[in-house]
Amino acid sequence: MEKQETKQQQIEQYAAKLMQLAKDTITVRFRFFDSALTKLKLEARPGIGGFATDGSHLYYDPLSLLLTYMEEPNVAVRAYLHILMHCIFSHSFQYEKRNPEYWDMAVDIAVENIILEMELPIAELSRDGEELSQIAKIKKWVPELTAEKIYREFLVNGLSKDAETAYKKLFSVDNHEGWRGGAIREELVVTEEEWKRISERIKTELKAFSKDKTNSESLANNLEEATRQRYNYREILERFAVSGEEIHVNDEEFDYIYYTYGLFTYGNLPLVEPLEYKEVHKVREFVIAIDTSASCRGSIVKAFLRQTYDILKNTENFFHAVNVRIIQCDNEIQSDTVIKCEEDFTDFLEHGKLNGFGGTDFRPVFSYVEDLKEQGAFENLKGLIYFTDGYGIYPERMPDYDVIFAFLNEDKNRGSVPAWALPIIIEEEWYEH
């Protein structure tokens, strides 16, 4: 019994030294990872069969590590870098919002691509050649390999069972089960906000280093994605809220005790009349402009409209009568659909057709809306949402209502949005069928 305990202690000691050496190696090689390395605590977890993280700890199985080390001497450095980047890019914190299988594969592919781009002898594995071959194929569909873009590709175009099996076997390094919750996740110490601050710091420090030192454009791209400001589309729709009245009892001001007492004592004479009008804030008048140029596919446009409709419906933002215009435009106005009630919206989603597919010019929509306002089509237009790829000509003048440009994805080659408009990126889960 004592021999077994001694052997287990030796295994844990050797594994701990191996992981500490990996940490020191990364620290010396990549000084800009200092803050991240400090936050991620090493902890032995016998029996987990490999590596895992909860965003605060890097867990490793001592015996599994040593057995793998015999065939892959660089496994500790490789696993450390792999998990460290999961944390820097906040991959685990986005897990609940996405299809878990697709997200697991997407984040592993993105991280492995970064490590391979770095061309680090200290992190090489025997499978690297096969990984590079698969990555070259993936880049034909997704030129810029961030986890978000890979995930979007999987959602939109699907993935064969053979490809799914191959990706899981080839790119997996750590166990993501702890991301789902449970015992490991309960020990979370470092929050998503802290990791985002660390990512911002790394992004800043990375710019001070020559590209020759990191040799990974994908690292910079993934950092940009991780630190990008995200907006909640549900909250953004509140920008279009206007005051209005609906006929129903205002429960906050009406006292039923006096009301029922009067009826009981005096027959049909209530002491207090109910307040039938209550001011509420609900979306009433706004415009949804759809870019129907060739780059905006019909299925994605319909998904965007359906999400918008569901948000409005589920949060009770509809009046009984609304005034919403769905305007389709490429380089000229193609159609204008008037939505007066929920049934109109449902009918458009089921039977509406997308027209156009020419070039893109945003100006005709704004001119058309101004004409509608002059004609009295709106009483109090609050805002316009323009769903587009962003490749078009923006108007120069700021309108007197809020404007949101909702883009399909992040694109550094896209032109700058006017200062008076709010750009948002439609999150990947919107494409899920």
HEC assignment per residue over the chain: CHHHHHHHHHHHHHHHHHHHHHHHHHHHHCHHHHHHHHHCEEEECCCCCCEEECCCEEEECHHHHHHHHCCCCCHHHHHHHHHHHHHHCCCHHHHHHCCHHHHHHHHHHHHHHHHHHHCCHHHCCCCHHHHHHHHHHHCCCCCCCCHHHHHHHHHHHCCCHHHHHHHHHHHCCCECHHHHCCCCHHHCCCCHHHHHHHHHHHHHHHHCCCHHHHCCHHHHHHHHHHHCCCCCHHHHHHHHEEEEEEECCCCCCCCHHHHHHHHHHHCCCCCCCCCCEEEEEEEEEEEEEEECCCCCCHHHHHHHHHHHHHHHHHCCCEEEEEEEEEEEECCCEEEEEEECCHHHHHHHHHHCCCCCCCCCCCHHHHHHHHHHHHCCCCCCCCEEEEEECCCCCCCCCCCCCEEEEEECCCCCCCCCCCCCCEEEECCHHHHCC
pLDDT at 314 over 90: no
Asked if the model's pLDDT at residue 72 lies above 60, the reply is yes
User: Is pLDDT of 15 > 50?
Assistant: yes
Q: What is the mean pLDDT of residues 390-407?
A: 88
Confidence of residue 182 (pLDDT cuts 50, 70, 90): very low
pTM assigned to the model: 0.68
Q: Sign of the C-alpha dihedral, residues 287, 292, 293, 296?
A: positive
Is pLDDT of 433 > 50?
A: no
pLDDT digits (tens, 9 = 90+) for 163-175: 999 999 999 999 9
More confident residue, 300 or 357: 300
Q: How do residues 120-162 score in pLDDT, each as one tens digit?
A: 899 999 999 999 999 999 999 888 888 888 998 888 788 889 9
Q: pLDDT tens across 140-150, in order?
A: 988 888 888 89
Would the pLDDT of 42 be above 50?
Answer: yes
Q: Is the pLDDT of residue 183 over 50?
A: no
d(CA 268, CA 301): 56
Q: What is the pLDDT of residue 109?
A: 96
What tokens were used for 7?
Answer: 């052997």
Model pLDDT for residues 211-261, shown as the tens digit of each residue: 545 556 778 777 777 666 666 677 777 666 655 555 555 555 555 565 565
Mean pLDDT of 304-317: 71
What is the predicted pLDDT for the residue at 351?
Answer: 79
pLDDT band, very low/low/confident/very high, at 391 (cuts 50, 70, 90): confident
| 248-282 pLDDT tens trace | 555 555 555 655 656 666 666 655 555 555 555 56
Q: Give the whole-number percent of the chain exceeding pLDDT 90.
A: 30
Dist. CA 254–CA 264, nearest whole Å: 17
Q: For the chain, how many residues are written?
A: 433
Confidence check: pLDDT of 338 > 70: yes
256 contacts 399 by C-beta, under 8 angstroms? no
Partnered with residue 181 across adjacent β-strands are none
Minimum mean pLDDT among 199-203, 204-208, 291-295: which range? 291-295
Average predicted confidence (pLDDT) for the chain: 80
Confidence check: pLDDT of 357 > 80 = no
All CATH 3.40.50.410 domain ranges in the chain, comma separated = 233-252+282-431
What Rg do the C-alpha atoms of the chain give, in angstroms?
28
Confidence check: pLDDT of 61 > 60: yes
Look at domain 233-252+282-431 and name its CATH class: alpha beta
Both tokens assigned to 242: 């206007």
